[in-house]
Structure 1
Amino acid sequence: MTSDATEIHTYAVAENLGCKPKDSGDEAILACLREVPMDKLTEAAMAYSVANHPPAGLFTFIPSVDDDFIPGRQSELYKAGRFVKGIPMVFGWAQDDGATNAGPAPLFQTEEDMKVPIKNFAHKIDDDDYGNLFALYPAQDFEIDVEHYEVRKAESDPVVPVHYFRTARIMRDLLFSCSSIDFGFEMTRQSQEVDNFPGVYHYTLNQSMVTPLFRAAGMPWLGTVHGSDLDYFYNNIFPRDQMSEEDLKLSDAMIASFINFAYTGRPNGEDDPSWLESFQDVDKGRAGSPNTFSIKVLGGPLGTGAAHLARRSRQYNDNDTVSMQIPLGDGHFEYGEMESPTDRIRKQELTREDLFERCAFINSLSEKLGH
């Protein structure tokens, strides 16, 4: 939001329409643009957007901080409490939400290749930032993703390097997960004095109806991509009589949760009380980031269920390899809870994503990222 991208693109569209004579100021350019018929102006702007960022022109005319309509970066505003408090919220992302932002998987042969898509959204971060970012997403953490892909891929499918899965996860956290956690935490922390505040909830979707379509289109590496949740809310890919039993069950559960949320401010109903508030026992006076986090996993091989996560400590050794330590006696651990084997595995998989550590670093880059 702090970049000059929108300004540059607006000048370019104006020039394409003949509205940028030499030495003319912004007022003269705007006066000229106001004389252009709306349909012609819209057509020119859309054509430029698509050419700038095919195929749909997204991320061309992005919001900009103008000290007027938008007075500051979003993270700067919500950290300072400049937002309406007490609004119940549900944040969610798809498990592979950054996959389509990364690009074609076979292109990621080295760590240097990983920088290409990241630069499109974070052009101000430097080599030191990349070093820290890549250390938080080490290759060994994503070897299991390569193994899962190898098991399901056809003989004719391409080999996918581990660096692709690293990049896709970085893009997910950079664009979706970390800001959702950060703002949700601030909404919870700063809304504690609001009477009957229902809370903030998070989900991650781990099931998709569009995976076979991507496989048929020659992109078998894509899993639960951005927008997969909309298919379950609106049946906008397949009509209900063409959905599998598993997809129908998940669709009904998701629709019921959001009807409950619209009616009560809470997505969990009497039939499913397991959708927990994301942040519990938050101290209003403690700014920063959460130490515990609850999230609902929707669908996938581990099934639907909640997971409660606690912050771990990350240490670096002399060989620049990363090890994780779970501190003994940490007050956030809850003993005596009965968990099924599936619950434990689900929690282990989410713990493996290191959301606390990775998001703490990504959110520390907010000013550079324009977030």
Structure 2
Amino acid sequence: MIFSRSSLLLGTLCASGLASPMPSSNTAPTVHLPDSDVWFTGTAANQTESFLNIRFGQETSGNNRFAPPKPYAYPAGSVVNATQSGAACPQQKDPIPSFPLFNNVTRTSEDCLTLRVDRPAHTSASDRLPVLVFIYGGGDTIGQIYDSAYDPTLLVSGAAEKDVPVIYVAMNYRVGIFGFASSPALSASDSLNAGLLDQRLALWWIQDHIAAFGGDPDQVTIFGESDGATGVGLQLTAYGGQVPKVPFRRAIMESGGATADTGTAWDESGQHTAVLIDRVNCTAPTSQEELECLRRLPMLTLQNTAYAYELTIDSMGGMDVFIPVSPSTFIPDSPSTLLKTGQFARDIDLLSGWCENDGAFFTSTALETSTDVAESLRASYPRLSNATIAKALQLYPLADFSNDTTVDPPVSAQYFRASQMARDLGFACPSLLTVETNAQYASHPQVSNYLYALNQTAFAEVFALENLTYYGVPHFSDIPYIFNTVTDGLLAPVSTASDRRLASAMGASWASFATFGDPSRVNGTIPGWRQALPATNSSSPESSPVPRLRVLGGPDSHFTGRGYHEDLVQRCAFWNSDEVTAELGI
């Protein structure tokens, strides 16, 4: 496995855990929901008040398994103990065994639709603070809101110190077979994409109740990383934009977007569900009978069988096997078509970007020739035509890349060539397409559109010690900065002063964007952001100017103006073309 050599050191870091919280006061914070007369009692530490394990959806076992989530209502007069973490939705105990960045899952349950609310100390119901809502990633297979990688304490307290206080919310949603099963019976009952529907239900809970916690329901920003960013993108395109109200005003996508999951448009999840039905002996004359059989299975039987099957598809951790499906009510057409035809929530302020080497973890270092690169594309994307693969090789000439002889054994330039393709196809180009179409269909010029590329990683010392420096700035490098675990958390022992400065500024920029639609409005943010594209309200994407982006961190931190290195605009025009997106199933 590509991560195995760094496991020992990262495992040691994981064992160190987070620093012990410092109490903010001796008084437990409470929140009252006046409409339902429900009280929540939370905890206070490190200038942050936290309310955990708040139920927004009913249990999803039995007949509710695979079904759209149902709202949960606490009985009137309830006093809810919101001081302890809740269960994760069904998933494996070790999220990615070969790369231990995440906590082991201590408890799973189908009664998992809970959320957490974290706010600055002494927030009152009258404060009306902007709200940052996080959607975790994890290949649609793993993830939970209580993982220490996503501890929001320093994000919340740091933003408050810079006078851009925000409230943080994150929701659990179903993953894997439980969140993204697909079959004719599920389609007929409008039950596809349950995990995305969980996210949507939580967003409506926030609209209804966040004011009691001191939040402003009209100032909600959703943000996510990797498949969390894909979730954000699909919340933008939800129902083809044909809804009377959208439960958020702004969106941040980190290394992902609506078009990041290849195979969405040809029901790849349905193919895998059919195999799993056979593996658990639920094959029956009708799809409805098969569904009823699946719902009768013990949770662990289904969970463990699905995980074993996922590993046969993706040995790294079973990622991206059960994924979102279109067409469906929630995703009525291919995501690329929804974006290109303006079928998405209009006039949403957008900030989107990627890590400079987002594709590094997902590329084999055994690639030595152009034929190897072509075959790796065929293996990963089996419906790509020979002409498309030939064009991709042409757009990424080997002369643009160099061998890395500083590591032992040396790494071929072909690895970096394929890694760049993976970054662009899966991360950079989905961001660019969303920003371009968001600007194209905006109804007024005040709509914000920002792009960034992260060029610094807190994993640098780990990679240097483990002979993995060729990873560069890989996928997930943004999370330790946004949640500032470089200052107090997993990566604190190996972080630099530069890492801690970047984390402080990035968290403040995200909070500034949530507050003003501008990531550099206040002191302490990353300065110099400019609009990637103006809102054009044009029906012709060709008329749009060349987009601009902000490089974050590293020796090359600057605003690029209208030029890109690596010919990214031309390459993304190829990956985002109608012909190629059809071959990718996006």
> Structure 1 length normalisation: TM-score?
0.79
- Match status 1:12 vs 2:275: yes
Shift of 1:29: 0.9
Q: Deviations over 1:31-59 (max 9, x none)?
A: 21111123332232223223321232111
More helix as a share of residues: 1
Shift of 1:282: 3.3
* 1:160 aligned to which of 385, 392, 411: 411
- For the 8 Å contact 1:204–1:297, the answer to whether it is kept is yes
- For the 8 Å contact 1:204–1:296, the answer to whether it is kept is yes
Q: Secondary structure at the match of 1:93?
A: strand
Q: Pick which of 215-224 and 51-60 moved more.
A: 215-224
- Match status 1:131 vs 2:131: no
Q: Secondary structure at the match of 2:562?
A: strand
Q: Deviations over 1:52-110 (max 9, x none)?
A: 2123211100112134342211010111111111111111100000111112x2x1111
**2:141 paired residue number:** none
The one-letter code of the counterpart of 2:383 is: K
Shift of 1:142: 1.4
Q: Tell me the distance in 1 between the aligned counterparts of 2:547 and 2:479.
A: 24
* 1:47 aligned to which of 308, 312, 316: 308
Q: Pick which of 249-258 and 115-124 moved more.
A: 115-124
Change beyond 3 A, Cα 1:122–1:238: farther
Q: Tell me the distance in 1 between the aligned counterparts of 2:536 and 2:566.
A: 22
- Match status 1:248 vs 2:497: no
Q: Tell me the distance in 2 between the aligned counterparts of 1:40 and 1:289.
A: 54
Change beyond 3 A, Cα 1:123–1:295: same
Q: Tell me the distance in 1 between the aligned counterparts of 2:384 and 2:516.
A: 42
Q: Secondary structure at the match of 2:390?
A: helix
The one-letter code of the counterpart of 2:436 is: F
**2:421 paired residue number:** 170
* 1:205 aligned to which of 454, 466, 477: 454
Change beyond 3 A, Cα 1:82–1:4: closer
Shift of 1:231: 1.0
**1:99 paired residue number:** 360
Equivalent runs, 1:137-286 vs 2, <5 Å: 137-143=396-402, 146=403, 149-150=404-405, 153-154=406-407, 157-193=408-444, 196-197=446-447, 199-236=448-485, 239=488, 242=493, 243-271=495-523, 273-280=527-534, 282=536, 284-286=538-540
Change beyond 3 A, Cα 1:307–1:75: same
- For the 8 Å contact 1:92–1:202, the answer to whether it is kept is yes
**1:358 paired residue number:** 571
> Structure 2 length normalisation: TM-score?
0.51
Q: Tell me the distance in 2 between the aligned counterparts of 1:276 and 1:239.
A: 31
Shift of 1:290: 4.0
Change beyond 3 A, Cα 1:142–1:73: same
**1:112 paired residue number:** 371
Shift of 1:275: 0.4
Change beyond 3 A, Cα 1:25–1:178: same
- For the 8 Å contact 2:354–2:428, the answer to whether it is kept is yes
Q: Tell me the distance in 1 between the aligned counterparts of 2:543 and 2:398.
A: 26
Shift of 1:273: 4.7
- For the 8 Å contact 2:440–2:535, the answer to whether it is kept is no
The one-letter code of the counterpart of 2:565 is: R
Q: Tell me the distance in 2 between the aligned counterparts of 1:126 and 1:289.
A: 29
Q: Secondary structure at the match of 1:92?
A: strand
**1:31 paired residue number:** 292
Q: Tell me the distance in 1 between the aligned counterparts of 2:451 and 2:345.
A: 19
The one-letter code of the counterpart of 2:572 is: C
Q: Tell me the distance in 1 between the aligned counterparts of 2:527 and 2:538.
A: 26
The one-letter code of the counterpart of 1:214 is: F
Q: Tell me the distance in 2 between the aligned counterparts of 1:169 and 1:159.
A: 18
Q: Tell me the distance in 2 between the aligned counterparts of 1:290 and 1:124.
A: 30
Q: Pick which of 169-178 and 258-267 moved more.
A: 258-267
- Match status 1:68 vs 2:329: yes
The one-letter code of the counterpart of 1:306 is: F
Shift of 1:172: 0.4
Change beyond 3 A, Cα 1:15–1:215: farther
The one-letter code of the counterpart of 2:311 is: V
The one-letter code of the counterpart of 2:582 is: E
- For the 8 Å contact 2:444–2:537, the answer to whether it is kept is no
- For the 8 Å contact 1:95–1:225, the answer to whether it is kept is yes
- For the 8 Å contact 1:75–1:183, the answer to whether it is kept is no
- For the 8 Å contact 1:231–1:237, the answer to whether it is kept is yes
Q: What stretches of structure 2 of length at least 5 have no aligned partner?
A: 1-263
Change beyond 3 A, Cα 1:47–1:237: farther
Change beyond 3 A, Cα 1:201–1:16: same
Change beyond 3 A, Cα 1:176–1:222: same
The one-letter code of the counterpart of 2:415 is: Y
Q: Deviations over 1:169-206 (max 9, x none)?
A: 00000001111111111111111337x43x11111011
Q: Deviations over 1:107-136 (max 9, x none)?
A: 111111113432344221122111111111
Q: What stretches of structure 1 of length at least 5 have no aligned partner?
A: 311-350
* 1:298 aligned to which of 543, 552, 556: 552
Q: Tell me the distance in 1 between the aligned counterparts of 2:400 and 2:336.
A: 29
The one-letter code of the counterpart of 2:272 is: H
- For the 8 Å contact 1:91–1:201, the answer to whether it is kept is yes
The one-letter code of the counterpart of 1:357 is: Q
Q: Secondary structure at the match of 1:207?
A: coil
Change beyond 3 A, Cα 1:247–1:169: same
Q: Pick which of 244-253 and 222-231 moved more.
A: 244-253
Change beyond 3 A, Cα 1:89–1:122: same
Q: Pick which of 116-125 and 54-63 moved more.
A: 116-125
**1:315 paired residue number:** none
Shift of 1:219: 2.8
- For the 8 Å contact 2:449–2:534, the answer to whether it is kept is no
Q: Secondary structure at the match of 1:202?
A: strand
